[in-house]
Amino acid sequence: MTNSNYIFYKKMIFFLLDEIGLDHSSIELGLKLSLRNNTPLPILLWSYGMLTIDELDKLYSFLFQNIE
């Protein structure tokens, strides 16, 4: 993972914690399942019911605004 990817993922995780209000254990589970299933983390969190469709939209808006 490049340094810019690391920073991008770190920003996404802080957004999920601070803005969306997910707890650490949900994010940790999401990351594990995302890697195992080769699925983007936002889609995985939504498909498992950890994010609502509005939260998913908010997350993608944040991600698109922070693409370097």
CB count, 10 Å around CB of 22? 19
The pTM of the full predicted model, rounded to 2 decimals, is 0.88
The DSSP-derived string for 18-51 is III---HHHHHHHHHHHHHHT--HHHHHHHTTSS
Q: What is the pLDDT of residue 5?
A: 77
First CA to last CA distance, the chain: 15
CB count, 10 Å around CB of 41? 19
Per-residue confidence at 1, pLDDT binned at 50, 70, 90? Answer: low
Q: What is the pLDDT of residue 17?
A: 97
What value does the mean pLDDT of the chain take?
92
> Tell me: the pLDDT tens digits for 5-34?
788 889 999 999 999 999 999 999 999 999
Check: CB of residue 62 under 8 Å from CB of residue 19: yes
Looking at residues 44-53, what average pLDDT do you find?
Answer: 96
